[in-house]
Amino acid sequence: MKTSGGSDAAKRRAGESAAEAATDGDVVGLGTGSTAAHAIRRLGDRVDAGLDVRGVPTSFASRELAAEEGIPRLDLSEAVGPDGPGIDIAIDGADQVATGGEAGDALVSGGELIKGGGAAHAREKLVDAAADRFLVVVDPSKESPRLDRSLPIEVLPAGRTAVAAAVREAGGEPTLRRADRKDGPVVTDNGNLVLDCAFGEITDPAALSTTLSATPGVVEHGLFVGLADEVHVGTASGVRVDEV
């Protein structure tokens, strides 16, 4: 699994802390990224020790890791629906977490997220939104009073230029995400492309989320508003848990 910046020890503390929240019988959403991977490994250890849980992976990578760790798995389509067990908790990382405060004329309440650094945010949002409790796991480098990182938007390949124009109209500057080890663009697990969009400081995440969701060609964007329930922040010496 790819790693991002930040201290790996702090990410491990955050991930392991959230993994302790799973209890017998739970269906657990398994996030993507280097911090969520620590949670999946810890869950794997707990399954070895007898914990009875099933995981709902959010990506090819989290599915592979869960399989390696011996965690029984369930598809989202099996978990959610009239006959499904639902998802009790989801554990997932983030590229940025708003800690709250004034942003221009608006007030960011805190707990809003930017996700999608690993291009997994479309399935992550499905799983995280379906969960009864969504636990975010981060190291302190991800915390910021306001959201100002580049925002990933997964787009239908044919809609790439139309969405790019809509992003410019909304005040952002889109860049097609390119692959590191192949010529050409990053292709998501869903066969789509990703535009990384620089909006500067996002003063009203809820409004931007609504605008982007209503744009034809947008499969999913990485703004997660009103979804997080707890933020587990791994620090140099322990873990801080913030209720949202």
Ligand X SMILES: O=C[C@H](O)[C@H](O)[C@H](O)COP(=O)(O)O
Q: Was 210 annotated as part of a binding site? A: no
Nearer to ligand X, 71 or 94 (CB): 94
Pairs from 39-44 (Cβ < 8 Å, separation ≥ 24)? 39/15, 39/91, 39/137, 40/15, 40/65, 40/66, 40/69, 40/71, 41/15, 41/65, 41/69, 42/15, 42/16, 43/19, 43/69, 43/71, 44/68, 44/69, 44/70, 44/71
- Residue listed under structure tokens 């978990």: 79
On whether 33 is known to bind a ligand per the annotation, the reply is yes
Q: Is 120 in the site for ligand X (CB under 6 A)?
A: yes
Interface with ligand X, residue 209, by CB under 6 A = no
How far is the CA of 9 from the CAs of 22, 28, 98, 200, 239, in angstroms? 21, 23, 22, 30, 11
Indicate whether 57 belongs to the interface with ligand X (CB under 6 A).
Answer: no
Residue (106 or 240) nearer to ligand X, CB: 240
Token pair 């787009």: residue: 155
Please select the residue that binds ligand X; options are 18, 27, 36, 225, rule is CB under 6 A. 36
Cβ-Cβ contacts under 8 Å for 230 (sequence gap 6 or more): 18, 133, 134, 135, 136, 241, 242, 243, 244
Q: Which of 16, 69, 112, 124 is catalytic?
A: 124
118 binds ligand X (CB under 6 A): yes
User: Is residue 119 at the binding interface for ligand X, with CB under 6 A as the rule?
Assistant: yes
Q: Active-site residue 124, yes or no?
A: yes
175 token code pair: 């860049």
- The minimum distance between CB 41 and ligand X, in angstroms, equals 13
Q: At what angle do helices 8-19 and 34-48 cross, to 10 degrees?
A: 50
From residue 103, alpha-carbon distances to 30, 115, 193, 204 in Å are 32, 19, 30, 8
Q: Which of positions 86-115 make contact with ligand X (CB under 6 A)? A: 92-95, 115
Known binding residue 117? Answer is: yes
The response to whether 207 counts as a known ligand-binding position is: no
Comparing CB distances to ligand X, the nearer of 29 and 217 is: 29
Q: Would you say 117 or 205 has its CB closer to ligand X? A: 117
Stretch that binds ligand X, among 31-39, 156-164, 182-190, 201-209 (CB under 6 A): 31-39
Residue 26 makes contact with ligand X by CB under 6 A: no
Residue 215 annotated as binding site: no
Q: Which residues bind ligand X (CB under 6 A)?
A: 3-4, 31-36, 92-95, 115-121, 124
Annotated binding site: 32-35, 92-95, 115-118, 142
Report the catalytic residues. Answer: 124
Annotated binding site for substrate: 32-35, 92-95, 115-118, 142
